[in-house]
């Protein structure tokens, strides 16, 4: 059986290599990037996942974007002015920017795009973050002149720009109305990015074409998602390779040039191969186990705490990250400037106390279903390790392996008991807490529903003073550890592997590939 699996993987890699053989000779400016699964749509922030965001962010651009250092800077905006009361944001648009259809960028397209985002019919993933259901409400959007847009907030919010820049929101990318059919249905993104959508062969690849009329910012180099984002290649093809072994084989056989997200185990193997470069950077993603706190069994905090006390975190993180990450039970990423002695305090392993809590809660081995998937190996492995460790105290975990899209839908609807899950990186701790904290009756995907904590988070989102924010984050961390709505285990790493001929590629904490500013040099075969 083992040999047949190896053979199947070998044939798959060979087929991929043959399919792409000669592509560099015929098209010397095409970079081929292996991704773990197909994108879900091309509509920014709508029916999305990590791969979708990564591709779409090459096509569309928002008014602002994240810089490399986690601050937010202008992108389509030339300047940003904030009123004294913190409620009004005035964006002056850059001159000379054009959409992929040749039309110039004006305030009209910004207004049209945002009205579409804020229309519930669009089903924008981030609607709840801007319409008042969360911690922020856009009260009005206006245009005093063709190149100026003014956003008015109901209340001051220090993280308004950071929320706009989020990749899971599609960077709030500005679109041209031609993105829709005359009937109003989604067609394809007509954005302002350095690449435009080429061919999407579902299940096989997504090809992007260099936008010849792209207007880069004046900065000399790229800077996160902003700066000079000029494309240096004619095409980027994202090739769907769901199997890790096949992806590694394709990289070593020159079937692809770049794997932007390899596991720590695969990175260790690829380091031994000639002609490859491995880049590692800390990421602010959150990896852990989610609990449905409204579940008849798991609503008892004693059972959730028993689970938290039954895990050997050091062993788990060493195994899951091949020693590249450290244990972190906090929603404040360990690479954040707000990670301090208070947020470093987490759960200890105490099997005796775990058994006592289970006994007090009346737990008698009732099955608990944990959802995992095989698209993202760290989630699957996290579930397997947890299942084995929890068995030691008599907790009966039954694994339910779902297709990733199905798991994502179950997460969004709150339809689960437990699941192994990973959250996208957030540069600010308030946004990390915001991912998990909220009113479940209004947003079913929220994991932690605590009114007092929500009020503290509101303060943190409005507060600008670092010392006061630190105190608020410390309080939130302490409450999270006590409530145990989830068990955060560690922050991830961004690991990229690429051929030596790939020049200018950089990993970074957001863990998304960026193919502008990247070129291909001739290599010796």
Write the pLDDT tens digit of every residue in 99-121. 999 999 999 999 999 999 999 99
Position 307 scores a pLDDT of: 98
Residue 404 has pLDDT above 90, yes or no: yes
Q: Say if residues 61 and 518 touch (Cβ distance below 8 Å).
A: no
Task: Give the least confident one: 67-71, 240-244, 411-415, 432-436.
Answer: 67-71
Position 523 scores a pLDDT of: 52
Sequence-ordered list of residues with C-beta below 8 angstroms from that of 55, at least 6 positions apart, any chain:
35, 39, 42, 206, 208, 238
Position 154 scores a pLDDT of: 95
Write the pLDDT tens digit of every residue in 175-188. 999 999 999 999 99
* 284 vs 290: CA distance, rounded Å: 18
Position 463 scores a pLDDT of: 86
What is the average pLDDT score of the chain? 92
Segment 465-490 shows an average pLDDT of: 97
Name the maximum alpha-carbon separation found in the chain.
69
Position 104 scores a pLDDT of: 98
Tokens describing residue 354: 């775990």
Position 139 scores a pLDDT of: 97
Would strands 226-227 and 195-201 be described as parallel, antiparallel, or unpaired? unpaired
DSSP lists the bridge partners of residue 207 as 237
Position 314 scores a pLDDT of: 97
What is the separation of C-alpha 417 from the centre of its chain, rounded to a whole number of angstroms?
23
Residue 522 has pLDDT above 80, yes or no: no
Helix extents (H) in 33-76: 50-56
* 285 vs 265: CA distance, rounded Å: 18
Give the CA-trace dihedral at 308, 314, 316, 320, to 10 degrees: 140
Sequence-ordered list of residues with C-beta below 8 angstroms from that of 249, at least 6 positions apart, any chain:
9, 10, 12, 13, 255
DSSP state for residue 440 in the 8-state scheme: T
Segment 351-359 shows an average pLDDT of: 98
Count, residues in the chain = 525
Position 134 scores a pLDDT of: 80
Instruction: Identify the CA nearest to 90 among candidates 72, 78, 104, 105.
Output: 78
Write the pLDDT tens digit of every residue in 184-222. 999 999 999 999 999 999 999 999 999 999 999 999 999
Sheet of 195-201: strand order equals 195-201, 205-210, 235-240, 30-35, 258-259, 486-499, 276-291, 418-423, 368-372, 397-401
* 36 vs 513: CA distance, rounded Å: 13
DSSP state for residue 98 in the 8-state scheme: B
Instruction: Work out the number of other CB atoms within 10 angstroms of the CB of residue 2.
Output: 6
Segment 127-156 shows an average pLDDT of: 94
User: What's the Rg (C-alpha) of the chain?
Assistant: 23
**Alpha carbon distances (Å) from 121 to 47, 124, 129, 439, 460:** 13, 8, 16, 22, 31
Write the pLDDT tens digit of every residue in 220-273. 999 999 999 999 999 999 999 999 899 999 999 999 999 999 988 888 889 889
Element at 138 (helix H, strand E):
strand 138-145
Position 8 scores a pLDDT of: 38
């Amino acid at each position: 059986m083992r040999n047949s699996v190896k053979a199947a993987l070998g044939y798959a890699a060979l087929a991929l290599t043959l399919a792409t053989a000669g592509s560099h000779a015929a098209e010397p400016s095409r970079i081929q990037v292996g991704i773990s699964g197909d994108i879900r749509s091309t509509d920014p922030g709508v029916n999305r996942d990590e791969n979708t965001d990564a591709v779409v962010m090459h096509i569309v651009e928002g008014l602002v974007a994240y810089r490399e250092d986690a601050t937010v800077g202008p992108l389509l905006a030339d300047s940003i002015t904030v009123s004294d009361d913190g409620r009004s944001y005035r964006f002056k648009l850059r001159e000379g920017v054009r959409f992929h259809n040749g039309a110039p960028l004006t305030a009209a397209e910004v207004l049209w795009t945002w009205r579409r985002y804020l229309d519930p019919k669009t089903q924008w993933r981030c609607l709840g973050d801007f319409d008042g259901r969360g911690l922020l409400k856009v009260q009005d959007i206006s245009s005093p002149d063709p190149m100026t847009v003014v956003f008015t907030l109901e209340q001051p919010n220090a993280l308004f720009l950071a929320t706009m820049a989020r990749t899971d929101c599609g960077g709030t990318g500005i679109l041209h109305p031609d993105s829709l059919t005359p009937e109003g249905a989604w067609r394809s993104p007509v954005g302002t990015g350095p690449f435009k959508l080429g061919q999407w062969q579902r299940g096989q690849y997504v090809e992007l074409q260099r936008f010849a009329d792209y207007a880069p910012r004046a900065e000399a180099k790229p800077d996160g998602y902003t700066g000079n984002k000029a494309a240096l290649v004619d095409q980027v093809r994202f090739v769907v390779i769901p199997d890790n072994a096949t992806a590694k084989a394709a990289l070593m056989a020159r079937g692809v040039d770049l794997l932007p997200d390899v596991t720590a185990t695969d990175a260790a193997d690829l380091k031994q191969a000639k002609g490859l470069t491995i880049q590692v950077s800390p990421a602010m993603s959150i990896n852990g186990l989610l609990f449905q706190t409204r579940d008849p069994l798991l609503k008892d905090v004693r059972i959730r705490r028993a689970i938290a006390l039954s895990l050997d975190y050091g062993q788990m993180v060493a195994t899951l990250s091949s020693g590249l990450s450290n244990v972190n039970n906090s929603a404040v990423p360990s690479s954040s400037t707000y990670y301090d002695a208070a947020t470093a305090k987490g759960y200890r392993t105490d099997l005796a106390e775990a058994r006592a809590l289970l006994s007090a809660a009346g737990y008698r081995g009732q099955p608990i279903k944990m959802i995992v998937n095989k698209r993202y190996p760290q989630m699957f492995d996290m579930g397997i390790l947890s299942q084995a460790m929890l068995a030691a105290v008599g907790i009966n975990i039954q694994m339910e392996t779902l297709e990733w899209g199905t798991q994502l839908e179950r997460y969004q609807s709150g339809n689960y008991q437990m699941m192994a899950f990973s959250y996208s990186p957030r540069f600010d701790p308030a946004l990390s807490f915001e991912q998990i904290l909220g009113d479940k009756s209004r947003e079913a995907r929220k994991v932690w529903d605590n009114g007092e904590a929500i009020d503290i988070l509101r303060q943190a989102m409005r507060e600008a003073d670092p010392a006061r924010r630190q105190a608020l984050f410390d309080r939130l961390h302490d409450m999270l550890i006590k409530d145990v709505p989830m068990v955060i285990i560690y922050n991830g790493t961004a690991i990229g592997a690429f051929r030596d001929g790939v020049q200018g590629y950089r990993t970074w904490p957001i863990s998304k590939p960026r193919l502008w500013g990247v070129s291909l040099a001739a290599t010796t075969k």
